[in-house]
């Protein structure tokens, strides 16, 4: 803990932590030491973890990267965080992120951008940018982020670390500040697939506080094994890769080459690897952004200037209080999405946009099911480019949304996916490789990711 605290101090310019629980972590470390000596410590004893600023931790501030939660203190602890604590992890602090997890570059935080440790003129990705850089720069051993459309995997790819988004409903979201409830997942960011698998195992499973959580038993993900070579020879794994990820001109050359390299390697191992097209690829981002903005406009209506955090004063009548508090409390991207979401849910446009997007979501799910009827895994780059410069896409939301092209599918269909490091480009910027598996096949997913790590 002391080492991490020193590093956090040294790397302040990366703007990773919005709060550091220094004394508390040191005290907790002592207590866990005692437990270790008594042979009674939990499975995560001494694991120093940072949490994204969208996870509630009782008695600690939580801001979701927003001014609207100014001075707000969490009243309870998220189930996922509680499970880490129950296994004797140490929560070292709260990590900067895009406001309400909306963004792909961490430039939408009210607390300023986070910087990529590989090149501080570049973004770390988002929205869990602080959580990814914390692991990249060695400011904690692992982080817990949230992934609605790629927010764990995309920053992990930009920072050269591992990011895992589980199946929808695998980890309880009780205590996670909601962005788009039918997409949101909590997921770990770590140095290794093993660490991510262990954290998933600890956080996953039934929870009476979240009605969307699955009651399926949790497998021992940290011990998952792929079939051995003899078994591969008798039944090779079937792996599909997205042709767009290795052939499209919209993808950096270095990323296409790195992805092709892994495809060749998988073939050399004896697996069947085939290119596929996703017929509905071009509808992915529109579907994602219509549905998530709709859900966000509804979820964020609770921040009214009365119940939480920031309030405009003097506010005149009640309506003025709502309007002024929300206008001043929310940043530009969040306001853009509330407006978009309110529009697509409005009576005259509901069928044209929201209903249509729900129908397309169903079609995308059916297409994905068909693909996984024939394949065990779907492989692609995690992102079309490596980390871009701060400011480069900030004023161009459409360009920014394109950064999610490969990651949103897993959230639209609720499947698990992992991003693992796949080398670097000529400038030393990390490249990510994404693997996706069928629902609740996290065991197979981490086993395969370990093989490729």
Number of other CB atoms surrounding residue 231 within 10 Å:
11
Interface with ligand GLN by CB under 6 A: which residues? 101-104, 127, 146-151, 179, 292, 404
Instruction: Identify the active-site residue in 52, 165, 394, 450.
Output: 52
Distance CA 405, CA 311 (A): 37
CB of 296 to ligand GLN, least distance (A): 9
> DSSP code of 122?
B
Is there a catalytic annotation at residue 104? no
Angle at 445 between CA 434 and CA 227, to 5 degrees: 125
Of all residues in the shown chain, the one whose CB is closest to ligand GLN is 151
CB of 319 to ligand GLN, least distance (A): 29
Is there a catalytic annotation at residue 151? yes
Distance CA 178, CA 183 (A): 10
Instruction: Identify the active-site residue in 128, 151, 172, 325.
Output: 151
Distance CA 446, CA 444 (A): 6
Q: What DSSP assignment string belongs to 160-221?
A: TSEEEE--TTSB--TTBPPS-TTT-EEEEEESSHHHHHHHHHHHBS--TT-TTS--SPPP-G
Distance CA 61, CA 56 (A): 8
**Element of type H or E holding 142:** strand 142-147
> DSSP code of 21?
-
Is there a catalytic annotation at residue 127? yes
HEC letters along 415-445: CCEEEEEEEECCCCCEEEEEEECCCCCHHHH
401 is written with which tokens? Answer: 């949304």
Nearer Cβ to ligand GLN, position 127 or 325? 127
311-325 burial, b at 16+ Cβ within 10 Å, e below that, comes to bbeebeeeeebbbbb
The tokens 């997890």 sit on which residue? 101
Instruction: Identify the active-site residue in 25, 66, 104, 127.
Output: 127
Nearer Cβ to ligand GLN, position 104 or 259? 104
Q: Which residues are catalytic?
A: 52, 127, 151
């Amino acid at each position: 803990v002391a080492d991490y605290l020193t590093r956090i101090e040294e790397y302040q310019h990366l703007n990773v932590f919005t709060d550091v629980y220094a004394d508390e972590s040191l005290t907790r470390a002592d207590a866990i030491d005692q437990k270790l000596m008594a042979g009674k410590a939990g499975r995560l004893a001494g694991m120093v973890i940072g949490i994204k600023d969208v996870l509630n931790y009782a008695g600690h501030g939580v801001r979701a990267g927003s001014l609207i939660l100014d001075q707000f203190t969490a009243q309870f602890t998220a189930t996922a965080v509680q499970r880490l604590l129950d296994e004797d992890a140490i929560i070292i602090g709260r990590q900067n992120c895009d406001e309400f997890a909306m963004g792909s570059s961490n430039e939408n935080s009210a607390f300023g951008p986070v910087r990529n440790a590989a090149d501080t003129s570049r973004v770390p990705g988002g929205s869990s940018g602080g959580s990814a850089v914390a692991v990249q720069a060695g400011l904690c051993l692992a982080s817990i982020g949230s992934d609605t459309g790629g927010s764990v995997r995309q920053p992990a790819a930009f920072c050269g670390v591992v990011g895992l988004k589980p199946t929808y409903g695998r980890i309880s979201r009780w205590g996670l500040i909601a962005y788009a409830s039918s997409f949101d997942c909590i997921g770990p960011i770590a140095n290794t697939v093993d660490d991510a698998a262990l954290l998933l195992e600890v956080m996953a499973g039934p929870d009476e506080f979240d009605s969307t959580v699955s009651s399926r038993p949790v497998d021992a993900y940290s011990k998952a094994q792929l079939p051995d070579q003899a078994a591969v020879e008798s039944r090779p794994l079937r792996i599909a890769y997205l042709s767009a990820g290795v052939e499209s001109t919209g993808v950096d050359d270095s990323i296409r080459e790195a992805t092709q390299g892994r495809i060749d390697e998988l073939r050399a191992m004896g697996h069947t690897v085939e290119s596929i097209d996703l017929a509905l690829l071009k509808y992915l981002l529109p579907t994602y952004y219509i549905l998530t903005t709709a859900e966000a406009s509804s979820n964020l209506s609770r921040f009214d200037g009365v119940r939480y955090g920031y309030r405009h004063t003097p506010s005149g009548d009640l309506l003025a209080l709502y309007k002024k508090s929300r206008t001043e409390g929310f940043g530009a991207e969040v306001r853009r999405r509330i407006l978009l979401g309110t529009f697509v849910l409005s009576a005259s446009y509901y069928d044209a946009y929201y209903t249509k997007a729900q129908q397309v979501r169903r079609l995308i799910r059916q297409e994905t099911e068909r693909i996984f009827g024939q394949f065990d895994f779907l492989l692609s780059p995690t992102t079309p480019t490596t980390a871009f410069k701060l400011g480069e896409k900030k004023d161009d939301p459409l360009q920014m949304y394109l950064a999610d092209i490969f990651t949103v599918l897993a959230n639209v269909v609720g499947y698990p996916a992992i991003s693992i490091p796949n080398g670097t480009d000529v400038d030393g910027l990390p490249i990510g490789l994404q693997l996706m598996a069928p629902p609740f096949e996290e065991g197979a997913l981490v086993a395969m990711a370990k093989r490729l790590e």
